[in-house]
Amino acid sequence: MSDTNTLTALSDGLAAAVETAGQSIVRVDARDRMPATGIVWSADGLIVTAHHVVQHDDAITVGLPDGSSVAANLVGRDPSTDIALLRTEAASLTPATWVEAADLKVGNLVLALGRPGRTVQATLGVVSALGDAWRTGAGGNVDRYLQTDVVMYAGFSGGPLVDVAGRVAGLNSSALARGVSVALPASTVRSVVETLLAHGRVRRGYLGVSTQRVRLPANLSEQLGQETGLLIGAVVPDSPAEQAGLFMGDTIVAVAGEPVRHHDDLLAKLSGDRVGQPVPLRIVRGGQVVDVPVTVGERE
């Protein structure tokens, strides 16, 4: 095959991927400035998009692939992962076909798609990095780090990252990281959507302390098998921490038997399934290691 034919085949394949995925991409009018993009989650009218583009809880409009517009209601949102779920009365929509991040490789061609107007727009790039689970700046758990070099045009947030077969590999957001294009993988989107459908929100655990990472004394470091812990600098009045008897100056070193070395470790241990449950905290107080049971609260 000649170089021209190869390029033509590649070009036609990318256009076909855009056409396929475009049947599952909608316009989301939920803020005062430019509309954003959403992805059809289910045929009966569920739309997933980015939390930061849904600035109104009411008067939300969704522009469908056929050019019509329908009203939408907010089912729920999770600011920590920048995901929002909308419900419309539209029927017979075409749900997106998702592909797991584990099936992607660094260097794979991908497209970022958006529908901030009536038609689909696209930009091309590659998967530039894949990594382990990570935590957003707002404390949200993301199952896999998925970075690309696609250009995020205005209105693309909430739209899909698409592979060359037209399958959705992730939900694009310009609010997750500065200076890089990252997407939320299918597994994270699925987990958040299921939780929003069940509860209308994603539950996060809460202790009511401010902490600072500190180095442990050599004897305690050897005893505990870790070099650092979290020194409590303040305890919120009437919080789970105060009710459990934690004090400023205590140092948290473990939650439920799992070491806590950084603030992210503590956030990770305060998962939604622990809200309302007693959880043992291991702390250092006055040079002694003490176990304190704390009933985890829910972060507002």
Domains of the chain, by residue range, sit at 1-199, 205-298
Both tokens assigned to 92? 């017979």
Q: Tell me the sheet residues that pair with 76.
A: 85
Distance CA 223, CA 235 (A): 27
pLDDT tens digits, 259-292 = 999 888 888 888 777 889 999 999 999 999 999 9
For residue 299, the model assigns a pLDDT of 81
**Quick check: is 163 catalytic?**
no
Query: Pairing mode, if any, of strands 109-114 and 160-162?
Result: antiparallel
Which segments in the chain show pLDDT lower than 50? none
Task: Decide if 157 is catalytic.
Answer: yes
Tokens 């004090």 sit on residue: 247
56 is catalytic: no
d(CA 46, CA 94): 11
| DSSP secondary structure of 78-115 | ETTTTEEEEEES--S--PPPB--GGG--TT-EEEEEE-
* CATH of the structural domain 205-298, one choice from 3.30.360.10, 2.30.42.10, 2.30.110.10, 3.30.565.10: 2.30.42.10
pTM for the whole thing? 0.81
Structure confidence at residue 1 (pLDDT): 59
Residue 226 dihedral angles phi and psi, to the nearest 5°: -150, 150
Q: Exactly one of 24, 29, 51, 52 is catalytic; name it.
A: 52
Per-residue pLDDT at 190: 97
1-199: which CATH topology? Thrombin, subunit H (2.40.10)
Question: Residue 201 has what pLDDT?
Answer: 87
